[in-house]
Amino acid sequence: MAGALVKNGAISLELFSDSNGEHIGVFSKIEPLLGDIRAAYGSQYAASFEKLIDATPDGRKRVAEARERMKAIRAQMPQTEQKRAKSA
């Protein structure tokens, strides 16, 4: 919905970008699955959301960086859990 608000001029991209960042993280999670999701739910699924990412300065780059950060966090999770288990 937020993407549609920006797309239709209800809120400027600048204001949205200044006050939000979760669109980058969320899109980094769904982007690899977008083809399959659209095949199941229709070609317009998350279309406004994708346009928002493309309109955001360095949007695709920021999405890729967020995806890599999340991969690094997931890779560290087993070690963190082991440390917690030892200290409990």
Q: How many domains does the structure of the chain reveal?
A: 1
Give the whole-angstrom CA distance, residue 48 versus residue 5. 9
Q: Quick one: average pLDDT of 49-71?
A: 94
**Nearest Cα to 63, choosing from 72, 74, 50, 76?**
50
pLDDT digits (tens, 9 = 90+) for 2-49: 778 888 899 998 898 888 888 999 999 999 999 999 999 999 999 988
Is the pTM for the entire model greater than 0.75? yes
Give the whole-angstrom CA distance, residue 53 versus residue 30. 12
Determine the structural domain holding residue 17 and report its residue range: 2-87
Please report which confidence band the pLDDT of residue 85 belongs to, taking 50, 70 and 90 as the band edges. Answer: confident
Cβ-proximal residues to 16 (8 Å cutoff; 6+ apart), any chain: 2, 5, 6, 52
